[in-house]
Amino acid sequence: MRYALVVLALAAAVAASPARADTEKQTVYINLTGPEYQALLQTWGFRAELSADEDGSPLISSSINGVNYTIFFYGCDDRQPRRCDSIGFSAGFDLSQSLTHAYMNDWNRYNRFGKAYTDDEGNAYLAMNINVDGGLTEAALRDWLRWWEIGVADYLDYIGWN
């Protein structure tokens, strides 16, 4: 009887476990260096100019659909090249008139990807952060870039950028 209960419990556990698809082996990035992400961007067909900020953390300049943006690296260690646990995308737009805080808040309320804000001079910005700590595959990193691309396109329409 006890054996039958154990078998039933194991069968129930197996039936309740999520389905897994067989996938090809992929590299999982648990953090990123500037050169690694630069190489990925270039592999995907994007311009990627690598430099460093004043603290020595990687910085990548790129563009998507004609819009220049910067990729900042955060949570970096002191090794060379620096390994960082998150990255942030940022694009700024110099507008002829400032957008209200309420207008920017509406973007943030109704859009999942990309945080909108204005700086002290009224320039509009779109930013998006990605946590790499814990692991992301190349496919996941590419998908995040796709969400950035969609967000930028939608944001251009939202702010009336020509």
Residues 59-104: tens digit of each pLDDT: 999 999 899 999 999 999 999 999 999 999 999 999 878 899 999 9
Place of tokens 């939202």: 158
Statement: the pTM of the whole predicted model exceeds 0.85: no
Q: How far is residue 82's CA from residue 7's CA, in Å, rounded to a whole number?
A: 50
Under DSSP, the state recorded for 104 is H
Task: Give the least confident one: 19-33, 40-54, 88-102.
Answer: 19-33
Assign domain 28-159 one CATH number from 1.10.10.10, 3.20.20.140, 3.30.1460.70, 3.40.718.10: 3.30.1460.70
Tokens at 45, concatenated: 């067909």
3-class DSSP state of 128: strand
